[in-house]
């Protein structure tokens, strides 16, 4: 699969969460350099009002769910990342290319999903399967 042809529309047609993860998985290695000393560029961009507004719109679009999958809602107070479906490079940020804020090129993810996409495998993701909370679930004597 050509990484530069992946889209949000195509991703969301995959019915299962694991299938969506497999579609996005990059297979990188922990410690591999991405932006290196130019990391300040992407950090500056991700702190901009333009990006924050765009991010808020995408969270709404994805119904507050990890990989826009209804069975994986974000928890209260959980940090939501936007993952670029087609990775961005330093020159994309410098040139402020359309790809940066294209709704077809981003998906909402939680941190552990983002890390699994970049550096993990399915076993890493399975460790963190979402389990809905229920009343008294931490107090067995109250069940």
CA proximity to 4, closest of 70, 66, 97: 97
pLDDT in tens, the chain (143 residues): 445 589 999 999 999 999 999 999 987 654 444 555 576 777 888 899 999 999 999 999 999 999 999 999 998 888 999 999 998 888 888 888 898 999 999 999 998 899 899 887 777 666 555 567 778 777 777 65
What's the DSSP call for residue 73? B
Instruction: Output the pLDDT for position 135.
Output: 80
73 φ/ψ angles, rounded to the nearest 5 degrees: -70, 150
- Residues contacting 29, CB < 8 A, separation 6+: 119
For CA atoms 34, 39, 41, 45, the dihedral sign is: positive
Instruction: Output the pLDDT for position 65.
Output: 96
């Amino acid at each position: 699969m050509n990484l530069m042809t992946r889209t949000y529309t195509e991703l969301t047609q995959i019915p299962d969460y694991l299938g969506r993860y497999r579609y996005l998985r990059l297979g990188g290695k922990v410690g591999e350099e991405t932006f290196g000393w130019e990391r300040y560029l992407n950090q500056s961009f991700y702190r901009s009002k333009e990006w924050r507004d765009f991010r808020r719109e995408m969270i709404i679009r994805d119904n507050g769910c990890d990989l826009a999958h209804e069975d994986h809602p974000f928890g209260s107070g959980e940090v939501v990342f936007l993952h670029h479906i087609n990775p961005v490079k330093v020159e994309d940020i410098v040139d402020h290319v359309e790809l940066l804020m294209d709704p077809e090129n981003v998906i909402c993810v939680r941190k552990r999903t983002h890390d699994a996409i970049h550096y993990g495998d399915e076993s890493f993701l399975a460790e963190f399967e979402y389990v809905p909370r229920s009343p008294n679930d931490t107090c067995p004597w109250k069940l």
